[in-house]
Amino acid sequence: MKKLLILILLLILTGCIKYQVVQKLDDNIYHLYNKKEGAVVIITPDKLEINKFYNLKQIKIINER
């Protein structure tokens, strides 16, 4: 289920829209939000700051297969 969710999110996250980090769910797992695009959950080795805005193309997203 987690792998399917990540794959779907990676397909959706191809734009240059900035997302705000809402919360850290676990080590390297973050919940991000954008008003127009909605919420996403990503896995990344990067350390993100809560309430800061990030362009998804600037974040290294881990693709689990």
- Span 21-39, pLDDT tens digits: 999 999 999 999 999 889 9
Are 5 and 42 a contacting pair, CB within 8 Å?
A: no
**pTM of this prediction?**
0.70
Percentage of the chain surpassing pLDDT 70? 71
Q: Which residues have C-beta within 8 Å of that of residue 57, sequence separation ≥ 6? A: 16
Q: Which residue has the higher pLDDT, 34 or 10?
A: 34
Are 64 and 3 a contacting pair, CB within 8 Å?
A: yes
Q: Is the pLDDT of residue 41 over 50?
A: yes
Q: Which residue has the higher pLDDT, 63 or 55?
A: 55
The span from the CA of 63 to the CA of 23, in Å, is 20
Of the candidates 45, 50, 42, 48, which has an alpha carbon nearest to the alpha carbon of residue 22? 50
Q: Is the pLDDT of residue 47 over 80?
A: yes
